[in-house]
Structures are given as C-alpha cells and as structure tokens.
C-alpha cells in the first residue's frame, strides 16, 4: 500500500533524524541501508509533490474553463433576458390596461403595484441609506511602503507556492 504525502514527509523526517544520530555515534558514517531508505523517501516525496502539482494544474485549468463557460452562458442569459424584456414591453404597448388574454399556455393580465422612485438621492436621510465601508488594501500597502504608519494595519511578508 502506497503512503500518503504527509506520511512520506513524516517518515523522511524520522529517517533524517535517525541518520543524524547514527552519524554522531559512528564518526559521520551512515549505513547504506539508511542512506538508501532516505533516497527512496525523497524520491517518493518528490513524486507525490509532482503528482499533487499536476492535479492542482488540472483543477485550476478546469476551473478557468468553467469560469469561461459561465461567462458565455451569462452573456447568453443576458441576451435572452433582454429579448424577454423587449417582448414584455412590446406586449404592454399592444395590450391595454384591464385587457385580459389567455390560452392553455399563457395568460396576460394587469395588476396594480407600487414602487419607490428616488427623485433626489442627496435629500434622503442617512437612516435610509446603505453604507458599506471597507479598507482599501492597495492604498494601505502604498502608504506603508512609502513609510507612513497606518493604524490597524501592517505589511506582512509571505511565501507563496508557485506552480507552473
């Protein structure tokens, strides 16, 4: 049964620790069997990392393809919505308020409704406005890089795995 990546990594760490202890006890000499075990574990780890990298690339590419398909389908949906809106407006122009038309598939009729129309957005009290405040990370980063102190924020360095 094949070991998982985390198991190979743990075994490799254990083997390296053992080799360090044995090397100290034997004037730097490590038995060939342990050296072979370390080599095999390193190869297994590398193989598993490469397999994970290939799986990552495949999933990333599939996700990008799905995003493109979503974009295409969204554009198609928008076209259909626009066409449906045009048809509704066309019918409204030719069907008088109060008039009813129907068959076994569709029924056209009128109903009363109400909607709020904003005449002057500036005159609306703040209580009725939705206000969302979010920090601008790009502006904060520019300020910190320029040497300014931004309370509540700091610049952190990260290591990011690059997969090509």
* Mean pLDDT, residues 122-127 taken together: 90
Tell me: the pLDDT tens digits for 47-82? 999 999 999 999 999 999 999 999 999 999 999 999
Residue 12: inside a domain, yes or no? yes
pLDDT band of residue 1 (cuts 50, 70, 90) is low
Which pTM value belongs to this model?
0.60
| Pair of tokens at residue 99 | 């008039």
Considering Cα of 137, then 139, then 145, then 150, what sign does the dihedral take? negative
Residue 115: inside a domain, yes or no? no
Question: Residue 65 pairs with which residues in a beta bridge?
Answer: none
Q: Is 11 exposed, middle or buried (0-12, 13-18, 19+ CB in 10 A)?
A: middle
Q: Which of 48, 46, 23, 50 is nearest to 35 (CA)?
A: 23
Total tally of structural domains belonging to the chain: 1
* Mean pLDDT, residues 86-102 taken together: 91
H/E run at residue 108: strand 107-108
Residue 137: inside a domain, yes or no? no
Distances (CA, A) of 153 to 96, 133, 143, 146: 61, 16, 10, 14
* Mean pLDDT, residues 107-111 taken together: 91
Residue 128: inside a domain, yes or no? no
Residue 56: inside a domain, yes or no? yes
Q: Residue 8 in 3-state DSSP?
A: helix
Contact (CB, 8 A) for 88 and 94: no
Residue 152: inside a domain, yes or no? no
Residue 162: inside a domain, yes or no? no
Tell me: the pLDDT tens digits for 143-155? 999 999 999 999 9
Residue 89: inside a domain, yes or no? yes
pLDDT band of residue 160 (cuts 50, 70, 90) is confident
Domain span at residue 47 reads 5-110
Q: What percent of the chain has pLDDT over 70?
A: 99
């Amino acid at each position: 049964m094949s070991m998982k990546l985390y198991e190979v990594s743990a075994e490799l760490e254990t083997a390296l620790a053992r080799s360090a202890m044995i090397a100290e006890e034997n004037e730097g000499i490590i038995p060939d069997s342990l050296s072979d075990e370390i080599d095999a574990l390193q190869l297994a780890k590398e193989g598993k990392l490469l397999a994970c990298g290939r799986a990552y690339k495949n999933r990333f590419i599939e996700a990008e393809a799905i995003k493109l398909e979503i974009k295409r389908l969204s554009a198609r949906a928008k076209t259909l919505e626009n066409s449906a809106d045009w048809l509704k407006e066309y019918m409204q122009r030719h069907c008088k308020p109060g008039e009813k038309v129907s068959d076994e598939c569709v029924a056209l009729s009128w109903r009363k409704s109400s909607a709020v129309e904003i005449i002057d957005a500036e005159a609306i009290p703040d209580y009725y406005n939705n206000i969302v405040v979010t920090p601008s990370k790009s502006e904060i980063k520019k300020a910190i890089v320029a040497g300014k102190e931004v309370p509540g924020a700091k610049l952190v360095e990260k290591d990011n795995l690059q997969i090509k």
